[in-house]
């Protein structure tokens, strides 16, 4: 089979492989995106949980400080009642005032910290609800991928085997050109040369509509073993069978008509006799 015919076979199978692979790849990409978002949300969840623990530890530390200050104030109050001189009394009283101020500050900070704990817990609850929804979406994406693989997995394997078989029939140099153009054009590797006006030798690439020289058309008409790419879009050009037929018809229409076959001797004698009879009557 000519090279271009083998390339067309590869092109048709490769297009099917890419179409089915595209479905699978899209499902995989969607699932991966959901898993990445879940991973990000898991990290955010860990950060929020760490903040809650740190804030709770701060509240606990402030409560301890408050308890220590309260116990110290109670102890000083007892010492104040038992003080024996004015200087001692004033010193104890001043320390009590400082501790009461510290207690007030500790209580204020503890209240603020508890408020932050509650706010962070609420944020964590909202985040966990969001994660639950994202987890459902992830599970749906996974089921869709499994469904897609179930629908096309076997057929894709068959087509991949057909593609490998078709590719083996093509020389390595031409196969590399095919693969490069296929990747460049997302599988739209080959393009049929369209006839714009055969009489005026006007042709175009069927994909990008850029003019194709007559010399290219002529080469494709006479040699199916040559890989010729469109100079504009790089696709591999081919000439459809129908166009080759139309070319032959056009040539036949332009060729001179065949001369009439010579008359037989019997036909000539009959004509001569008819002419003689006609002349005699006159």
* 207-224 residue pLDDT tens: 999 999 999 999 998 888
Say yes or no: 78 and 10 in one domain.
yes
Same-domain pairing of 149 and 47 = yes
Clarify whether residues 53 and 161 are in a common domain. yes
Which pLDDT score is estimated for 223?
85
The answer to whether position 206 is within a domain reads yes
The per-residue pLDDT of the chain, averaged, comes to 86
Parent domain of 17: 3-168
Q: Is residue 196 part of a domain?
A: yes
What CATH number is associated with residue 133?
Answer: 1.10.287.1490
Q: Are residues 147 and 224 in the same domain?
A: no
Q: How confident is the model at residue 198 (pLDDT cuts 50, 70, 90)?
A: confident
Q: Is residue 13 over pLDDT 60?
A: yes
pLDDT value at residue 260:
43
Instruction: Kindly state whether residues 100 and 189 are assigned to the same domain.
Output: no
Token code pair at residue 110: 């503890």
132 and 230, same domain (yes or no): no
Instruction: Return d(Cα 246, Cα 195) in angstroms, integer.
Output: 10
Question: Measured between alpha carbons, how far apart are the two ends of the chain, in Å?
Answer: 72
Boundary (domain end) residue, out of 139, 168, 197:
168
Same domain, 25 and 46: yes
**Quick one: which of 19, 22, 9 has its CA closest to 167?**
9
**If you count them, how many residues does the chain have?**
282
Q: What is the pLDDT of residue 53?
A: 95
As a whole-number percent, the residues of the chain with pLDDT over 70 amount to 85
Pair (13, 89) in one structural domain: yes
pLDDT of residue 273: 57
- pLDDT-based confidence at 167, cuts 50/70/90? very high
Confidence of residue 193 (pLDDT cuts 50, 70, 90): very high
Confidence of residue 257 (pLDDT cuts 50, 70, 90): very low
> Is residue 48's pLDDT more than 90?
yes
Handedness of CA 94, 95, 100, 106 (dihedral sign): positive
Q: Which residues contact 30 (CB under 8 A, 6 or more apart)?
A: 141, 144, 145
* One domain for residues 188 and 125: no
Beta strands in 48-166 (DSSP E): none
* pLDDT tens-digit map of 85-138: 888 888 888 988 999 899 999 999 999 999 999 999 999 999 999 999 999 999
Domain boundary among 141, 168, 195: 168
List Cα–Cα distances, 196 to 73, 160, 204, 243, 267, in angstroms. 104, 36, 7, 11, 49
Is 160 found in the same domain as 183? no
In the predicted structure, residue 279 carries a pLDDT above the cut 70? no
Domain count, the chain: 2
**Which tens digits make up the pLDDT trace of 49-89?**
999 999 999 999 999 999 998 898 888 888 888 877 888 88
Q: Identify the three-state secondary structure at position 203.
A: strand
For residue 161, tell me if it sits in a domain. Answer: yes
């Amino acid at each position: 089979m000519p090279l271009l015919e083998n390339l067309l076979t590869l092109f048709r199978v490769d297009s099917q492989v890419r179409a089915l692979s595209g479905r699978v790849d899209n499902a995989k990409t969607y699932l991966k995106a959901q898993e990445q978002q879940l991973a990000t949300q898991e990290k955010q969840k860990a950060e929020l949980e760490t903040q809650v623990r740190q804030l709770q530890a701060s509240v606990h530390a402030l409560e301890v400080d408050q308890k220590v200050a309260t116990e110290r104030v109670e102890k000083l109050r007892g010492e104040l009642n038992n003080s024996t001189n004015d200087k001692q009394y004033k010193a104890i009283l001043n320390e009590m005032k400082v501790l009461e101020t510290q207690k007030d500050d500790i209580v204020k900070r503890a209240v603020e910290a508890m408020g932050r704990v509650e706010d962070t817990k609420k944020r964590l609850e909202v985040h966990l609800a969001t994660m639950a929804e994202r987890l459902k979406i992830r599970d749906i994406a996974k089921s869709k991928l499994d469904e897609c693989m179930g629908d096309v997995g076997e057929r894709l394997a068959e087509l991949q085997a057909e593609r490998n078989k078709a590719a083996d029939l093509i020389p390595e140099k031409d196969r590399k050109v095919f693969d490069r153009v296929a990747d460049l054009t997302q599988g739209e590797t080959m393009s049929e040369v369209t006839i714009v006006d055969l009489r005026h030798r006007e042709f175009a690439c069927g994909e990008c509509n850029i003019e194709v020289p007559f010399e290219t058309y002529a080469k494709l008409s006479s040699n199916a073993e040559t890989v010729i790419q469109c100079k504009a879009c790089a696709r591999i050009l081919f000439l459809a069978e129908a166009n080759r037929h139309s070319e032959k018809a056009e040539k036949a229409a332009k060729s001179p008509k065949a001369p009439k076959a010579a008359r037989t001797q019997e036909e000539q004698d009959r004509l001569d006799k008819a002419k003689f009879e006609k002349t005699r009557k006159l």
